[in-house]
């Protein structure tokens, strides 16, 4: 259920947030995407967000990393 050493499983987005010390709560507020959806996207590799949700998240992430691209985190296209 959890990662290899008992930690939370993390997706590419979850690892990005962790590496930069960004809280999921910050992303919730900046993107205006629900807490539950952000949690799913950060920890569930099988979760597929909608394109409008991806756009909201990317708008927030670009405030931290202007070079971030959606395909860095999501399987788009």
Residue 47 backbone phi and psi in degrees, to 5: -80, 130
**Domain range annotation of the chain:** 12-66
31 pLDDT higher than 60: yes
Rounded Cα distance between 31 and 57, Å, is 5
Burial class (CB in 10 A: 0-12, 13-18, 19+), 73: buried
Q: How confident is the model at residue 41 (pLDDT cuts 50, 70, 90)?
A: very high
pTM score of the predicted model: 0.86
9 pLDDT higher than 60: yes
Q: How confident is the model at residue 8 (pLDDT cuts 50, 70, 90)?
A: confident
- Please report the pLDDT score of residue 1 as a whole number: 43
For residues 25, 26, 32, 34, the Cα torsion angle rounded to the nearest 10 degrees is -20
12-66 placed in CATH 3.40.50 = no
3-state SS assignment for residue 35: helix
């Amino acid at each position: 259920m959890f990662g290899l050493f008992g930690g939370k499983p993390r997706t590419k987005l979850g690892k990005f947030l962790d590496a930069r010390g960004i809280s999921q709560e910050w992303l919730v507020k900046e993107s205006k995407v629900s807490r539950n959806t952000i949690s799913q996207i950060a920890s569930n590799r099988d979760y597929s967000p909608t394109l409008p949700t991806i756009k909201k998240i990317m708008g927030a992430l670009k405030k931290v990393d202007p070079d971030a691209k959606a395909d860095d985190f999501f399987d788009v296209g």
